[in-house]
Every structure is written in C-alpha cells, then in structure tokens.
C-alpha cells in the first residue's frame, strides 16, 4: 500500500519550523508494512493545498495531512479537504464538550473561532486530542483514506500511537489480522540494537522488524499479518524471544510505556519508596516520577540542590567533600544519595549532579554526569556518564538513566553495570 505525508504550514517553507512529522510517520508506517512514497510541504494557501491534495488522491491509498487544524483563518486543511472530497463538515457535540472542558476554569471565555475545531467529516472518524483542542480526523473516498493530525508534536505523536496506529491496523489489514507489538529499550543505541538483531531484520518480512530512536531510548516494533490474531501473535512470539535473549538486559517494557511509569509501578507493587536529590536535572527526575497517578504511594520527595550552598546546607553534603572534589563529582553524588535517603527514610534514593551546558564548569566537560544510587542499609553506588547533545537532552538523558538504574534493581535485584 502506498502512503504519503503532507505537512501544512507556511512556517515550514520559511524555515521557521523543521518538519519532523514526515520522518516520524514514515518510520511508523514502515513498521506497519505501509510504504511512504512522497513527502510534501505546502503553505497556508488554499489553492496550493487543493492542488497538493488532488495530486495525492491520484497516487496514494493513505494520505496524512499534518497541521492546519487550529482555530485561525489560515488553518484551512479540514475545509480544503472537505471541498475537494465534497463531504460536508458537521459539528460534533462530543468535541464541543471537550473544547468547553478544556477552557473551563480559565479567566477568559472561549474565543468564538475555537468552535471551528468542533466540525468533523460527516461519516468520518474522530481521534480525541488529550493534549490540545483540535481533534484528529479520518475520512475515506474512492479507496483513498485521509488522516488529519494536529501540528504540534506533543499532540500528534500520542494521538498517532494511541489511536491512529490501531486505526491503520484495522483499516488496512486486507482481510487478514494485523498485529503490532513493541519492545522498549534504554541504555543501548538504535544502531547497536539494529546491529544486534540485523540478521533477524533481514531474514523476515512477516513479521516486519523495525527499530527507531525516541527522545530517550529505542523502540523495536514487530508487525505480523496472518489469518487470525492468534496466528499473527504466534509469528511474533519466537522473534520476540530471540530479541530479548540478545538484548533483554536493556528492555524495560513490552507495552511501549514510559520508563518512569514502569519504575513507579514496580515500586508500588514491591511496596518500596524512593527519594531524590538532583542538581543538573533541575527537578526533572522528580517530575518524571510524579507524572504517574498514584505516585504518592512510592515517591517520598526530592530536593533540587542546584547550588553548592544548598548541597551543603540543605541536603548535608560535607563541606570538605565539595571543596576537595567539587559539586560535580562521584563523591558529591555519593553524599547526596546517602543524605537524601536518610532524611526521607526511603527504601531507595537517587542523586544526580553534572554539567548540562552549554559551558564547562569546575574544569569539567559538558555532559559529565554522576548518578548516585542508595539502597537502605547498603553502600552507595555511583555511575559516571558522559552525555552529548543540547542542555535539554543531557538533562533528559540523565534523568532517564537514573530511572533505568532503579528499574534494573527492581527487575533483577541488582543495579546496572
């Protein structure tokens, strides 16, 4: 099956925004056995968008339209497609309620133009937007299916993963059962994971095996077709076992869920608690742990000890440690973990101290991070990392690595090497 991706927005053509959607959707489609053959970017101009849609209609069976679903006058994607397909837009009362709930409690009334987003294709499919106001849509005509997705990545990606992927699996199964399963990895790069499983990837076309990097971690997806769902899962099972045999040490989930949720759920199941002291991550680790509902059962609390003063006076790192080794050191990470575990009386404690950049500090390079891991009644273990990337990426990688260290302890009864 041939598919294509159309990204809509003049900011793409002006170079103000980089198109990441085409690459993301192409990787996802490949893992589902769908071939993307064209990427197109078009500005917020109705005649050109109509021309682009008409061209896509004649050559593809699945067309993604990303962006242009908002409330402003230049958001024309839905209206242009409606005119091209001659399928009317009707107001959806469920979407209206979602919009009104979204604005409920805000000081301002709902701007009237926002109700433009509540119109959907008659007879089409609506994808709920849990992270914004514009729903995703799907509509088909003349053996071509259009999937319309909101432009912001924080809205598009979860909508695709939670709703659009199952829709594609159900719609384009060709009379067969089509099953997709994912394994989530951390601590191993995409290229190394692919190299580890290269012979499997090359040997099989059913199931299709595909790897792709996420912001923190890697996902390996297996997609199989068969007469029944059971038979499709039976095709996947031995390949999954072999992948886990080779790289299972790095696999933290078989359900494609965030690492921090896996960790927090395991803590709750084991009846254990965690406390943190973090510096360069600036509270991100605490945020990750508390992003899951029910985390209060396991998360005792945390301290953002960003300065040397707070490390010493608030957390209790000895002054001589800071003077002799510096705020970014294995010794400071050890003391932070030791002190925060004692102060919160938690089963486990994690500490993070490092240099997120963009400049060096204390004569130490950007990306140098130390993570301390403390278990009650056991000595602290400290992990040295040399991370790369932007300040934000270093912070995220450090926080996720701390999560992974704890996850490995809960999974195996031992910490990572």
Residues 330 and 382 grouped into a single domain: yes
Q: Count of alpha carbons within 13 Å of 110, Cβ hemisphere only?
A: 18
Residues 41 and 183 grouped into a single domain: no
Dist CA 196 CA 246 (whole Å): 7
Question: 3-class SS at 386?
Answer: strand
* Token pair 């790369």 in the structure block, residue: 388
| Cβ pair 8, 66 in contact under 8 A | yes
The pLDDT tens digits for 37-63 are 999 999 999 999 999 999 999 999 999
Residues 129 and 162 grouped into a single domain: yes
Q: What CATH number has the domain bearing residue 45?
A: 3.40.980.10
Dist CA 22 CA 25 (whole Å): 5
Helices 77-85 + 46-57 axis angle, to 10 = 50
Residues 86 and 187 grouped into a single domain: no
- Count of domains in the chain? 3
Residues 60 and 115 grouped into a single domain: yes
The pLDDT tens digits for 219-278 are 999 999 999 999 999 999 999 999 999 999 999 999 889 999 999 999 999 999 999 999
Please indicate, yes or no, if residue 416 is contained in any of the structural domains.
no
Dist CA 303 CA 136 (whole Å): 40
Please indicate, yes or no, if residue 217 is contained in any of the structural domains.
yes
Residues 88 and 210 grouped into a single domain: no
Dist CA 267 CA 137 (whole Å): 38
Residues 208 and 352 grouped into a single domain: no
Q: Count of alpha carbons within 13 Å of 43, Cβ hemisphere only?
A: 8
Residues 272 and 396 grouped into a single domain: yes
Q: What CATH number has the domain bearing residue 357?
A: 3.90.950.20
Residues 159 and 184 grouped into a single domain: no
Cα 280–chain centre separation: 22
Q: What is the largest CA-CA distance in the chain?
A: 76
Dist CA 222 CA 256 (whole Å): 12
Please indicate, yes or no, if residue 26 is contained in any of the structural domains.
yes
The pLDDT tens digits for 303-360 are 999 999 999 999 999 999 999 999 999 999 999 999 999 999 999 999 999 999 999 9
Residues 143 and 9 grouped into a single domain: yes
User: What residues make up the domain containing 360?
Assistant: 259-406
Dist CA 412 CA 417 (whole Å): 12
pTM, entire model: 0.79
Please indicate, yes or no, if residue 298 is contained in any of the structural domains.
yes
């Amino acid at each position: 099956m041939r598919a294509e991706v159309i990204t809509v927005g003049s900011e793409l053509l002006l170079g103000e925004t980089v198109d990441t959607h085409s690459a993301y959707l192409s990787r996802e489609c490949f893992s589902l056995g769908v071939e993307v053959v064209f990427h197109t970017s078009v500005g917020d101009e109705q005649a050109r968008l109509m021309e682009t849609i008409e061209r896509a209609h004649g050559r593809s069976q699945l067309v993604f339209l990303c962006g242009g679903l908002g409330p402003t006058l230049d958001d024309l994607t839905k209206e242009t497609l409606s005119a091209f397909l001659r399928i009317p837009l009707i107001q959806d009362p469920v979407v209206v309620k979602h919009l009104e709930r979204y604005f409920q409690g805000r000081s301002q009334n709902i701007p009237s133009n926002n109700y433009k987003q509540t119109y959907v294709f008659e007879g089409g499919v609506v994808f709920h937007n849990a992270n914004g106001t514009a729903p995703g849509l799907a509509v088909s005509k003349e053996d071509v299916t259009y999937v319309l997705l909101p432009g912001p990545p924080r809205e598009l990606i979860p909508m695709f993963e939670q709703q659009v992927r199952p829709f594609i699996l159900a719609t384009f199964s060709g009379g067969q059962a089509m099953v997709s399963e994912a394994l989530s990895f951390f601590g191993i790069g995409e290229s190394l994971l692919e190299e580890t499983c290269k012979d499997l990837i090359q040997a099989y076309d059913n199931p299709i095996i595909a790897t792709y990097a996420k912001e923190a971690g890697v996902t390996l997806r297996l997609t199989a077709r068969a007469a029944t769902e059971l038979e499709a899962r039976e095709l996947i099972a031995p390949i999954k076992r072999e992948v886990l045999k080779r790289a299972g040490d790095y696999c933290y989930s078989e359900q494609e869920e965030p690492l921090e949720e896996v960790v927090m759920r395991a803590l709750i199941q084991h009846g254990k608690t965690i406390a943190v002291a973090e510096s360069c991550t600036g509270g991100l680790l605490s945020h990750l742990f508390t992003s899951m509902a029910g985390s209060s059962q396991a998360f005792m609390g945390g301290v953002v000890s960003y300065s040397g003063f707070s490390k010493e006076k608030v957390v209790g790192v000895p002054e001589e440690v800071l003077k002799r080794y510096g705020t970014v050191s294995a010794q400071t990470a050890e003391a932070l973990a030791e002190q925060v575990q004692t102060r919160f009386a938690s089963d486990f404690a994690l500490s993070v101290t490092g240099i997120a950049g963009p400049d060096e500090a204390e004569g130490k390079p950007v990306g140098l991070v130390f993570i301390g891991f403390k278990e009650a009644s056991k000595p602290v273990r400290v992990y040295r990392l040399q991370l790369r990337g932007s300040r934000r990426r270093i912070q995220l990688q450090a926080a996720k690595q701390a999560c992974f260290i704890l996850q490995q302890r809960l999974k195996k009864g031992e910490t990572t090497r």
